[in-house]
Structure 1
Amino acid sequence: MLSLFDKTPDRSSFNILVVCTGNICRSPLGESLLRNELSRLPVKISSAGTHALVGQPMHGPVQNFADEFGLSDAALHEAQQLTIGMLKESDLILAMDRGHRREIVEMLPRASRLTFTLREFARLADQVSNEDIAMRSGHSPLELLRSVVESVAQLRGTLPLLDDPLQEDVVDPYGKDQGTYKLSVGQLLPAVDASARLFNDAVGEI
């Protein structure tokens, strides 16, 4: 079977791309959270928007959450537009909702096996064991990281369907009330935690 990464040139890092609409709320917060939780791994994390408010900083209410979580890098964020080049350079693409996932695959169909909603990836990650990963990899950190994605992708279609498909999405809080911002962050945090835990456990001590 061809690897998901046969197309990927040799690199010194594993590239994760987080995608939402404007790249000022959900995806930059997800980027910062993942960077914090995966800081000891050879991972590069970026974010972009399908309809980005290019050059804009993280939206104020979301920046407040980032400050609360101690994410100092969030203050440096500038929104950028998603491009095919970004998709081609990614080892994993985490969309904030199913609409973004669809747009990504329409832009670059071959990225479909590397593209998940964040909550989808987290739900599948909970079902992956270290033994599953070891069966698909060598022993270098990069091989292990890429094997995580292969192991998660193999589980697609094997879990029961969700009663509510919205459970695959992180709600867009932009322009809504404070309760919606809290809901969005409350959906994002556990999904980031589950995803990061799988990567950290897979690589172990390096």
Structure 2
Amino acid sequence: MLSLFDKTTDRSTFNILVVCTGNICRSPLVESLLRNELSRLPVQVSSAGTHALVGQPMHAPVQKIADEFELPDPGLHVAQQLTIGMLKESDLILAMDRGHRREIVEMLPRVSRYTFALREFARLADQVSNEDIAIRSGHSSLDLLRGVVESVAQLRGTLPLLDDPSQEDVIDPYGKDQATYRLSVGQLLPAADASARLFNDAVGEI
């Protein structure tokens, strides 16, 4: 039924992987946001960088923003390098921009089917209904979560092209001023919220 996922697993969790460059700004913030908003679902959220500053904590300006949102333990984050093993274990991969998505697919082409730029996923998610998800899934929480990704993936290529394709990217604020950090958050926050809302609505009261 869920042809998007050709791997079999006995896992009881749905794994979301968030990817940026250094894994100290954008991806750990989205990781924390999604973990917080999906806390009642059987979802595991992690993050990594394509060129990670391995071992580094969340960048201080981003941690300040995370604290403002009262996200759980943002200070515990430790940057890690993206690996093929992480990609293989993921049910959904959310990249911070189109360049990251390209790098991910080059590492493991088969994950292209469930790898999206975050803002791309959110734009498509707005067009998905619970009926769409139900058609493509079973009745367990894991089935429904995978059904969300299946439904979003089916919409690729069906929406009008953006006048500016960079609107699907989240700007990299690293090393820039506080205004750029706020701009980056202003791009990723609505996208993370829209993505989380779709998953929560799909699972409902199950």
TM-score band (shorter)? over 0.9
The CA distance in 2 between the partners of 1:21 and 1:8, in whole Å, is 30
**What residue is the counterpart of 2:33 in the other structure?**
33
The CA distance in 2 between the partners of 1:25 and 1:6, in whole Å, is 32
SS in 2 for 1:112: helix
For 2:113, the aligned partner's letter is R
Report how far residue 72 of structure 1 moved. 2.5
**What residue is the counterpart of 2:46 in the other structure?**
46
The CA RMSD measured in Å over matched residues stands at 0.9
The CA distance in 2 between the partners of 1:5 and 1:154, in whole Å, is 13
Report how far residue 2 of structure 1 moved. 6.5
Report how far residue 10 of structure 1 moved. 2.1
1:54-203 equivalences in 2 (<5 Å): 54-203=54-203
The CA distance in 1 between the partners of 2:66 and 2:52, in whole Å, is 20
SS in 1 for 2:73: helix
Kept after mapping to 1: 8 A contact 2:24/2:58? yes
TM-score, reference length from structure 2: 0.98
Report how far residue 6 of structure 1 moved. 1.9
**What residue is the counterpart of 1:205 in the other structure?**
205
The CA distance in 2 between the partners of 1:156 and 1:72, in whole Å, is 33
Runs of 4+ more than 6 Å apart: none
For 1:114, the aligned partner's letter is Y
The CA distance in 2 between the partners of 1:90 and 1:194, in whole Å, is 20
Kept after mapping to 2: 8 A contact 1:31/1:47? yes
The CA distance in 2 between the partners of 1:136 and 1:2, in whole Å, is 6
The CA distance in 1 between the partners of 2:181 and 2:68, in whole Å, is 14
The CA distance in 1 between the partners of 2:205 and 2:171, in whole Å, is 35
The CA distance in 1 between the partners of 2:41 and 2:73, in whole Å, is 17
For 1:94, the aligned partner's letter is L
List gaps (5 residues or longer) in structure 1: none
**CA deviation string 1:44-76 (max 9, x = no partner):** 000000000000000000000000000132110
CA spacing shift, 1:33–1:123, aligned 2, 3 Å: same
Kept after mapping to 2: 8 A contact 1:8/1:89? no
The CA distance in 2 between the partners of 1:68 and 1:133, in whole Å, is 34
**CA deviation string 1:167-204 (max 9, x = no partner):** 10000000001110000000010000100000000000
How many residue pairs get matched? 206
The CA distance in 2 between the partners of 1:80 and 1:4, in whole Å, is 27
Kept after mapping to 2: 8 A contact 1:52/1:79? yes
Report how far residue 4 of structure 1 moved. 1.4
SS in 1 for 2:146: helix
TM-score, reference length from structure 1: 0.98
Report how far residue 9 of structure 1 moved. 1.4
For 2:131, the aligned partner's letter is E
For 2:200, the aligned partner's letter is N
Kept after mapping to 1: 8 A contact 2:20/2:26? yes
The CA distance in 2 between the partners of 1:146 and 1:132, in whole Å, is 12
